Amino acid sequence: MNVKKIMVVGAGQMGSGIAQVCAQSGYSVILNDIKPEFVERGLGVINKNLSRQVEKGRMSKEQKEEILGRIIASTDLHDAKDADLVIEAAVENMEVKTKIFAQLDEIAQEHAILASNTSSLPITEIAAATKRPEKVIGMHFMNPVPVMKLVEIIRGLATEDEVYQTIEDITKTLNKVPVEVNDFPGFVSNRVLMPMINEAIYTLYEGVATKEAIDEVMKLGMNHPMGPLALADFIGLDTCLYIMETLHEGFGDDKYRPCPLLRKYVKAGWLGKKTGRGFYVYE
C-alpha cells in the first residue's frame, strides 16, 4: 500500500516527535490536537529540534524550511479523511484512545491504516472500537522519537499481514528499526523496563539507599545511560503508574503492584520533569 499522507493525533512530546521524523522522511504530515495552542507548542518543539540540527551543520536552513513546510496544523479530527495512515499519540488511557479510534473509523478513508503509539495498552481492545480491526496496529515509538531507533510494532488479533508489512516498511523509511511484538500488556519494552523502575522506587521507599545512590549503581554497575529514578522522572510518574496498573491488571500478578511511594508522588502532583518535581527537583 502506498502511504503519502500521515496524520498524527496528539501534538505532545511523542506526537510532535513522530510528526517530525515523518516530515523529515518526505511524508506530508497533519499534526492534530484538540486546542490550537497544543499544536503550536508541538510545532515549536519541532522547530527547536530542527534549528539545533542546522546549528550543528547536519542540515541546511533550506532543508529545515522544507521539512516544516510538509507539516499542516490541525484541530479538527475530520482532517483524517485525507490521510493514508493515522498515528494516534494521545494520553495513555484506554477510554480516550477507543473514543478517538471510533471517530477515526468513521472519518478515515476505507484503505487508511489506524495505528496507536500506546506504550502498554492492548491493540486488540483498541481495534475492537472500530469496524476495521484488520487495519489497526500498534506502532510504539521510543522517547525522544527523533533520537531513538526502536519502534515496537504490535499486531492485534485481526491485523492483516499486508498492514503489518506496510507499517514495517514505513518504519524503515523513517530510519527506525522495527521489531515485531505480540499483543501482551506492556509489550516487551515496558514489561521489562517498568518493573525495574518500580523496584528502584521500592528500594528508595524501603530506605535501602538514597535516590542518587540507586541511580549511580545502575549507571556505573549496569552501564545504563540514566538511572531508573531519573528515567521515571523523564517518562512521567503518572505514565509509569498507569503502565504498572495496566501490567498488574493484565497479568493479575502481584509482582507488578505499583509501589505506594509512586502512588503518593502522583497524588501530590509530583509527576517528574514536566511538573518541575518528581524524585528530583527541576528548575
Angle CA 16–172–74, to nearest 5: 25
User: pLDDT value at position 240?
Assistant: 96
- Does 82 show up as a binding residue in the annotation? no
Q: What share of the chain is helix, strand, coil (3-state, %, to 5)?
A: 55, 15, 35
Beta bridge partners of 180: 153
- Does 269 show up as a binding residue in the annotation? no
pLDDT one-digit tens code per residue, 32-77: 999 999 999 999 999 999 999 999 999 999 999 999 999 999 999 9
Residue 12 has pLDDT above 90, yes or no: yes
Rounded to two decimals, what is the model's pTM?
A: 0.92
Active site residue 248: no
What is the dihedral sign for C-alpha 19, 20, 24, 28?
positive
Active site residue 152: yes
Provide the CA 268 distance to its chain's centre, in angstroms.
24
pLDDT one-digit tens code per residue, 225-257: 999 999 999 999 999 999 999 999 999 999 999
Q: Over the chain, what is the mean pLDDT?
A: 97
Rounded Cα distance between 36 and 40, Å, is 6
- How far is residue 87 from each of residues 5, 94, 114, 179, 245, measured CA to CA in Å? 11, 15, 6, 17, 24
pLDDT one-digit tens code per residue, 144-190: 999 999 999 999 999 999 999 999 999 999 999 999 999 999 999 99
The 3-state DSSP class for residue 78 equals helix
User: pLDDT value at position 3?
Assistant: 96
Active site residue 212: no
Domains of the chain (ranges plus CATH)?
5-181 (3.40.50.720), 190-272 (1.10.1040.10)
Residue 1 has pLDDT above 90, yes or no: no
Among 190, 223, 224, 248, the one annotated catalytic:
190
Interacting residues of 62 by C-beta distance below 8 A, sequence separation 6+: none
User: pLDDT value at position 283?
Assistant: 84
Active site residue 140: yes
Rounded Cα distance between 275 and 283, Å, is 10
Rounded Cα distance between 116 and 137, Å, is 6
- Does 274 show up as a binding residue in the annotation? yes
- Does 55 show up as a binding residue in the annotation? no
